Structure 1
């Protein structure tokens, strides 16, 4: 669905310390931006922000960075983070979330080696046509990029409702030096206790959708 342009979105985001618009000026210095030495988790395609907002509230001693392409989406993530954290009466700079408008294909030189401890990929575009497979966020092409900044022993948590993408991704991870530590074709009946339900997940689970999920650990780094 084509998003209607919201001309007010970028000014609202630029007014908040939570949103990073100088994406390439923090490589190797993300802990300085958060003003602490806590580990950093990255969500690729954070969408409307429900997942990252909940994670950040549950884990105040972890820093979170969320990336999405469209201002029209990211401004809603900003509002959701601020609303969910409002009762804590924190200033924007003290909330353990940073949001960044960025095409994930351009993620090189945003993070330094070993700067990220965990990556979340939730319900990304499955790109089912073979000629488009390299656009998948779990494709080996992207995984090799992530390995430049994901710590050895770091994890990728991946959720999807697309069986083809899920099964191909299992192979992508194995080919790229990851070990599959957890895998299920029906997350909500798997006994896995640390799931945070996304907006998309809640909607389509109510319609009978099954969520597939895996945890891949980086065991071979270049």
Structure 2
């Protein structure tokens, strides 16, 4: 379902000028200057309403978080959550991830989070998936030497596709879980979608991809 663009939303986003960055390309390669420190940078690709990323930011004050979202109205909800918690280690980027090359420089990001992204189920749309090799190879460039991708989905076909793509791109797979909420995994932070899916009895799939230097990029 597409969200209608509501008038005045961008102006409301701009009123949170300490949290929102509408032209993030200008900070490529210098995100730590935005935060004024050298803490590791973690990025959520498609932050939605922000429950996941604001919870992490609240629990991890020594990490700098970037939340990327293309939908203005949804991003505004996430920003309001962060503002209500008084967080200063998070920034929100209104940005289309197709242009991710313009956001980050080599070895700038410690961790990417991809949560419940659009599965793009039709085969001809495969390259649009955020876990397609074309994206994964870009992430690999942006990640630090020990960088990671943490991925969750409720879509079994997307999870299988993603495991194959991740492996083919030379990452090391870790913590592959086929039923997260019936596993012994500790420290899971849920998104709004995840809470809904769990209540519906859906299985949640999760894995971590670790950047390695053992294979050629």
- TM-score of the pair, normalised by structure 2: 0.95
- CA distance in structure 2 between the aligned counterparts of 1:97 and 1:13, rounded to whole angstroms: 15
Deviation at 1:62, TM superposition (A): 0.3
In structure 2, what is the equivalent of residue 191 of structure 1? Answer: 184
In structure 2, what is the equivalent of residue 163 of structure 1? Answer: 156
2:6 aligned with 1:6, yes or no? yes
- CA distance in structure 1 between the aligned counterparts of 2:206 and 2:120, rounded to whole angstroms: 18
For residues 84-141 of structure 1, what are the alpha-carbon distances to aligned partners after superposition, in whole Å with 9 as ceiling and x for unaligned? x14xxx6xxxx10111011101010211111100000000011111111111000001
- Gapped runs of 5+ residues in structure 1? none
In structure 1, what is the equivalent of residue 132 of structure 2? Answer: 139
In structure 2, what is the equivalent of residue 40 of structure 1? Answer: 41
- CA distance in structure 2 between the aligned counterparts of 1:24 and 1:139, rounded to whole angstroms: 23
* Equivalent position SS for 1:215: strand
- Gapped runs of 5+ residues in structure 2? none
In structure 1, what is the equivalent of residue 60 of structure 2? Answer: 59
Identify the match of residue 122 of structure 2 among 126, 129, 153: 129
In structure 2, what is the equivalent of residue 216 of structure 1? Answer: 209
- CA distance in structure 1 between the aligned counterparts of 2:98 and 2:138, rounded to whole angstroms: 9
- CA distance in structure 2 between the aligned counterparts of 1:135 and 1:22, rounded to whole angstroms: 23
2:173 aligned with 1:180, yes or no? yes
- CA distance in structure 2 between the aligned counterparts of 1:213 and 1:123, rounded to whole angstroms: 10
For residues 8-67 of structure 1, what are the alpha-carbon distances to aligned partners after superposition, in whole Å with 9 as ceiling and x for unaligned? 211121122111112111011100000111000000000000000100000000000010
- TM-score of the pair, normalised by structure 1: 0.93
Deviation at 1:148, TM superposition (A): 2.0
CA contact (8 A) 2:171 2:211 kept: yes
2:112 aligned with 1:119, yes or no? yes
CA contact (8 A) 2:154 2:197 kept: no
In structure 1, what is the equivalent of residue 29 of structure 2? Answer: 28
- CA distance in structure 2 between the aligned counterparts of 1:147 and 1:15, rounded to whole angstroms: 34
